[in-house]
């Protein structure tokens, strides 16, 4: 596992942005196979050193943006045998590394393919050590919505090619958000659930955005509740008998403490409401706002109010 030492001298687990991008791309390909086609041998070429680059023809034919991975996460096309600057696209979507909230305690276990070796007639098997870390992780995704679906001649520098654009910019961003909400990854025979327990979605129209990567702390909330039940029965002589039964419920739940400006009136919303707000923002409702999604049983500090829902008149 990748590890990083934070300011307090303790080691935390790091999931690289490259691993997150891989998970997002391949899970989006499963969710939207027609819209999120991954580039293959026809789109890549191997250059010296075993490095894979997109082919220049993708730009010349103006179909580079048909692939979400090139549109959202950028690329570099190096010129062969020429002292010329590479053709690049700066990523409109920035993903940070994911960091564990709690320090790593060197949890690990041994495993080996002993069963297969026995059935194959082998003498035994060499065990390996697998490191584990069950925790919450925090990462940040920033989307420059004005650049998604657009690749201008000022950026790629080829006057002959000119500006390149596609029409499904809004749809692609919503699909990216949908993928993050339901993110999974297959890791060594396991299907890991990477879907978020807490999402803070900020919509900004002036470039001055907030990041909450270092503004969220993990605590523990303790729920203690006593439930009293009453039951009335009659005995053989017709007298009323009242029985009382008490049930105690205790439960620990994660609590996220967030350094957030409540003056911006952050609202609690469901996944569908978050996507609806983003879609309205992309369609021209440029008012900045903060929307919070959380699973029902977790606690936050501060608490957030739910938006007032009005019923449409028939």
User: pLDDT tens, 209-263?
Assistant: 889 999 999 998 877 777 788 888 888 888 888 888 887 777 788 899 999 988 8
Span between the terminal Cα atoms of the chain, in Å: 57
Buried/exposed 5-29: b ≥16 CB within 10 Å, e otherwise: eeeeeebbbbbebebbbebbbebbb
Is the pLDDT assigned to residue 299 strictly greater than 50? Answer: yes
Domain boundaries, the chain: 1-101+136-191, 197-314
The percent of residues above 90 in pLDDT, for the chain, comes to 56
User: pLDDT tens, 49-71?
Assistant: 778 889 989 999 999 999 999 99
At residue 253, the 3 state secondary structure works out as strand
pTM: 0.85
Looking at every residue in the chain, the average pLDDT score rounds to 89
């Amino acid at each position: 596992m990748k590890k990083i030492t934070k300011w307090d001298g303790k080691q935390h687990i790091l999931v690289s942005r490259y691993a997150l991008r891989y998970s997002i791309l391949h899970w989006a390909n499963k969710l939207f196979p027609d819209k999120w086609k991954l580039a293959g041998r026809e789109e890549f070429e191997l250059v010296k050193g075993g490095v894979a680059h997109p082919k220049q023809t993708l730009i010349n034919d103006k179909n580079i943006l048909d692939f979400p991975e090139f549109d959202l996460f950028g690329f570099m096309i190096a010129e062969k045998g020429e002292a010329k600057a590479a053709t690049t696209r700066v990523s409109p979507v920035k993903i940070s590394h994911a960091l564990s909230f709690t320090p790593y305690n060197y949890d690990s276990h041994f495993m080996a393919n002993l069963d297969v070796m026995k059935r194959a007639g082998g003498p035994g098997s060499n065990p390996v050590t697998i490191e584990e870390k069950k925790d919450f992780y925090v990462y940040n995704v920033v989307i420059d919505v004005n650049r998604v679906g657009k690749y201008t001649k000022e950026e790629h520098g080829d006057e002959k090619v000119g500006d390149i654009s596609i029409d499904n910019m809004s749809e692609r961003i919503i699909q990216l958000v949908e993928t993050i909400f339901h993110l999974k990854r297959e890791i060594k025979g396991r299907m890991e659930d990477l879907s978020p327990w807490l999402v803070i979605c900020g919509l900004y129209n002036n470039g001055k955005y907030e990041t909450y990567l270092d503004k969220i702390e993990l605590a523990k909330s303790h729920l203690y509740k006593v439930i009293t039940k009453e039951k009335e029965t009659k005995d053989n002589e017709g007298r009323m008998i009242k029985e009382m039964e008490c049930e105690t419920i205790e439960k620990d739940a994660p609590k996220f403490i967030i350094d957030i400006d409540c003056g911006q009136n952050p609202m609690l919303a469901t996944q569908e409401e978050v996507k609806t707000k983003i879609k309205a923002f992309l369609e021209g409702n440029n008012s900045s706002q903060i929307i919070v999604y959380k699973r029902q049983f977790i606690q936050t500090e501060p608490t957030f109010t739910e938006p007032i829902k009005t019923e449409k008149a028939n």
